[in-house]
Structures are given as C-alpha cells and as structure tokens.
Amino acid sequence: MKITISKENYLKAIAEAESEGEAVKPATLSRWLEVSAPAVTMATRRLKRDGLIRVGAEGQIRLTAAGREIANRLLNRHHLIERMLTEIFGMEWYKVHDEAEQLEHAVSADFEHRLVERLGSGGTCPHGNMVGVDTPADRRRRGLLPLDEGAEAQTFCVASVYERDRQLLEYLEGMGVRPGVTLRLQTKNCDETLTLRVEGRPVQIGRPAARKIWVAPQANGERG
C-alpha cells in the first residue's frame, strides 16, 4: 500500500478535526481541506479500501489503528518542525504552521529522530498546542477555557491558540495576544466584542476570535 501525500493530508485532517471536537464527516473534510465533495468521496473510498478509516452508517469517519498511526506520525513531525523553526531558526510563531505543513511530508525517520534528540519529545508547539489529539474536553479537564467564556475583571494566561488560520494569528500578534501572555478580560460588550487589557493597553477582540484562544485563569490582581 502506497501512502501518498494526499492520503497523509486526509488522515491528519481527520485527527485534527477530532482534536477540535468535531464529528468528522465528508463535509467536514471538504471544508477542512478546501476540496470538493466529489474529491472527498474518492479519497475516503481509497482510504477505506486501504483499511485506514471506517465510515459509520451516518457517514461519520473514524481512523483505524493503522490510519491513526500515520496521522500521529504526521502530527508529531509537524509539531517538531514548528519547534525547530522557532527554537533553532527564530521564525515568528505565527508563520511556522504554514511552513510545517509543507515540510512535514519530506522529513525522514532519521531526521525526525535527530529533531527529538535536539528538542525533546512532548511539550507544546509555538502556538501552545500539545502534540497529537487534544480535544476541548481534554483542555477543560486541565482547567482551561475559551477566552469568550471567561468572567469580566478576571486575569488569564494565554495557553494556546488555534493555529490553522494565518490571518487570525497575525491579528493576534498585532494585539500582543500570544501563548504565555497574561491579559485581563475587562468587559464583554453588547456588540459581541471583548475588551482586554494586554501588556498595559486596552484592545478589543470579537467573540469568534476569542473562542479560538484557550486560557488559564490566574489569581485576581495579577497584571494583564
């Protein structure tokens, strides 16, 4: 069985969508990968034939053990490449996801091993995300919550952000909102925006963007 880049992308997208708490169906993959419905139908037929996915009666797609192994390998390589680009080459955190998307398919097992030796395994990527599948339920169990669910006048530390939207990442960087930053949620406004205090200055952010930022509540009185 030949594992092509296309197959790798589909398997990784299934795992990533699961990590965002989505029930994966053909329409999910069409949106996630920005491909047509007929293309998804053909791809899932091949993946099912190769024993890499199962498709339920209602169309829900799940990875088999073999499919999960391939997806996890890609996720791990993506994670290592992002860390390499920031920690070794100093690339801006909001740029590395797109670069890693291209490089992850070209990494050999030997080079991956060298990256692990240099960077270590586990940990978080420059966007604060853990390697592998980390669902919203997993994050909540660790005490994290989306920023838009935070209470007014509460201080938070940014734990992670949704990394698959370059425009969002650049927008957040412009406001000084990045993993590790402490901020204060000052008010929730009637126009569906939040007013934050970040690095000593007030900024506003819409609720859709705030939902993609996971934060850890801090003791009241900490600076934001």
DSSP 181-216: -EEEEEEE-TTSEEEEEETTEEEEEEHHHHTTEEEE
Please report the pLDDT score of residue 220 as a whole number. Answer: 65
Distance from C-alpha of 119 to C-alpha of 142, rounded to nearest angstrom:
24
Contacts for 88-95 with beta carbons within 8 Å, 24 or more apart?
Answer: 88/118, 92/173, 93/126, 93/127, 93/169, 93/173, 93/178, 93/179, 94/166, 94/169, 94/170, 94/172, 94/173, 94/178, 95/166
Calculate the CA dihedral of residues 70, 63, 145, 148 and round it to 10 degrees: 100
> Which secondary structure element, helix H or strand E, spans residue 157, and what is its range?
strand 154-161
Q: With contact defined as beta carbons under 8 Å apart, do 30 and 36 qualify?
A: yes
CB-facing half-sphere around the CA of 33: CA atoms within 13 A: 28
Distance from C-alpha of 166 to C-alpha of 122, rounded to nearest angstrom:
24
Q: With contact defined as beta carbons under 8 Å apart, do 136 and 23 qualify?
A: no
Hunting for tokens 């791809």 — which residue is that? Answer: 43
139 Cβ neighbours under 8 A, 6+ residues apart: 145, 159, 160, 214
Give residue 59's identity as a one-letter amino acid code.
G
Burial class (CB in 10 A: 0-12, 13-18, 19+), 123: exposed
Per-residue pLDDT of the chain (224 residues; tens, 9 = 90+): 688 999 999 999 999 999 998 999 999 999 999 999 999 999 999 999 999 999 998 889 999 999 999 999 999 999 999 999 999 999 999 999 999 999 999 989 999 999 999 999 888 999 999 987 889 999 999 999 999 999 999 999 999 999 999 999 999 999 999 999 999 999 999 999 999 999 999 999 999 999 999 999 998 654 44
Q: In 3-state terms, what secondary structure has residue 160? A: strand
Q: In 3-state terms, what secondary structure has residue 217? A: strand
Q: With contact defined as beta carbons under 8 Å apart, do 197 and 184 qualify?
A: yes
Q: What residue ranges define each of the domains in the chain, with the CATH number in brackets?
A: 5-68 (1.10.10.10), 75-119 (1.10.60.10), 141-217 (2.30.30.90)
